[in-house]
Structure 1
Amino acid sequence: MPTLILLRHGQSRWNLENRFTGWVDVDLTPQGEAEAAKGGELIKAAGVQIDRAYTSVLTRAIRTLWLALGASGQTFVPEVKDWRLNERHYGGLTGLNKADTAEKYGDEQVKIWRRSYDTPPPPLAHGGEFDFSKDRRYAGAVLPDTESLKTTLDRVRPYWEGEIAPHLKAGETLLVAAHGNSLRAIVKLLFDVADDAIVGVEIPTGNPLLIELTDQLKPVSARYLDESRAQPLPTAA
């Protein structure tokens, strides 16, 4: 039976500082490292044998993957890194403190940028501190300058369909260690969650979401391995 584990990265340094992170490459905090390792321990305790692993090109997700694989005793599995599993691009909000941003633009406007399905923040200015166009991780790619959850899903979908889904259809067990919004996009695809409902789906950090699938990749069962930190699972549209 195809099996998918979704693992949101542990707490990052900018999570702790309450800043919009997006594509900025910040590391985990000690708490984030502990969350990632705990995720791996839970995978081991559940007896899940991983065939292949995926992550973004951002350090906090990569190190979460490594720590989880290490704690589960499965560092040997093949892993693939791809920018299309990156966090949502927060555009002109990148690097800003969330509380300060709310004071400047108003709580309602910031809530729309953060939680609406298809309204992106203002675009990121070219040539500034957080211009990613010169980063060799993205050489040859056409990069966004801001994203909503909808356009994040538009970026994730082709990678899901072309790279990840075929391995699941072959019966493999996959681990995807990524970010709140890229994982939310995968959840929307799998569970066919309505646009207005997906923005309310929360995926806790460092808590593996184990999803068993049919051969057609329809969810049969889904559960968080740490029940004490579980969030409500999505329902189909």
Structure 2
Amino acid sequence: MARLVLLRHGESQWNLENRFTGWVDVPLSPRGIQEAKNAGDKLRGFTFDRAFTSVLARANETLRLALDAIGQSNIPIEKDKALNERMYGELQGLNKGETAKKYGEAQVKIWRRSYDVRPPGGESLKDTAERVLPYYEQTIRPYLLKGETILVAAHGNSLRALIMELEQLSREQVLELNIPTGAPLLYEFDETGKVVNHRYL
């Protein structure tokens, strides 16, 4: 049975400061480092064939710490910007409270929670899905169809886009979906590639 584990990176320094991060390359916070190690502890008993991650340090570091914890840091790892976080454009680096003061809370909520509205100079969740899903279909899914066990360490919005596809969620459902940092989410597939089970570890 093929298995896919999705792992949102541990808390970053800007998650801690409540800033829009997007493609800015910020490190994990001390708590995020611990979350990544704890995720590794939850992955004991899994033998991964390969792993995929974004090109951003917070996801790379989470993956490294989790694999180190289970002694599997030698597996093939592919990094690709297709798995990067949603790009927040002019909002990147701004504190979410300051952003609400500048643009109004209603507008910020639309940017954060609508499916296809872009913040200034940034991506919508739809844009993010349009790079994540082809990458999944062309690069990750073929390994699952061979029955492999795969780990993907990525970001809140790139994983939301992927979960939308895996669970066949509507746009409304995916907007309500919150993925906790450092919590491994397991999907199991039958031989046709259909999801038969999913749960947090």
TM range (shorter): over 0.9
Q: Percent identity?
A: 58
Contact 1:12 1:60 in 2 (8 A): yes
In the alignment, what sits opposite 2:33? 33
Which 4+ stretches in 1 moved above 6 angstroms?
A: none
Q: Distance in 2 between the 1:206 and 1:2 partners? A: 22
Gaps of 5+ in 2: none
Question: Which residues in structure 2 correspond to 1:25-174 (within 5 Å)?
Answer: 25-44=25-44, 47-123=45-121, 146-174=122-150
What is the root-mean-square deviation of aligned Cα atoms in Å?
Answer: 0.8
One-letter code aligned to 1:183: L
| 8 Å contact from structure 1 (residues 190, 217) kept in 2 | no
| 1:220 corresponds to 2:196 | yes
Q: Secondary structure at the match of 2:43?
A: helix
Which stretch has the larger CA shift, 209-218 or 13-22?
209-218
Contact 1:8/1:206 (<8 A) preserved = yes
Equivalent residue number for residue 22 of structure 2: 22
SS at match of 1:182: helix
C-alpha offsets along residues 68-125 of structure 1, whole Å, 9 cap, x if unaligned? Answer: 00112211111000000000000111111110000111111100000111111011xx
Task: Give the residue type in structure 1 aligned to 2:63.
Answer: L
Q: Measure, in 2, the Cα distance between the counterparts of 1:149 and 1:118.
A: 6
Amino acid aligned to 1:189:
E
- Equivalent-residue separation in structure 2 for 1:218 and 1:202 (angstroms): 23
CA offset at residue 216 of structure 1? 2.7
CA drift of 1:11 comes to 0.4
Give unpaired runs (5+ residues) of structure 1: 124-145, 226-237
Write the distance in 1 (CA, Å) between the matches of 2:114 and 2:53. 25
Indicate yes or no: 2:164 matched with 1:211.
Answer: no
Whole-angstrom distance in 2 between the partners of 1:215 and 1:19: 42
Q: Tell me the secondary structure at the aligned position of residue 36 of structure 1.
A: helix
What is the alpha-carbon distance in structure 2 between the residues aligned to residue 107 and residue 214 of structure 1?
A: 44
Shift of 1:30: 0.7
Look up the SS of the partner of 1:54 in the other structure: strand
* In structure 2, distance between residues paired with 1:189 and 1:215: 18
Cα separation, 1, equivalents of 2:196 and 2:168: 14
CA distance in 2, matches of 1:214, 1:120: 36
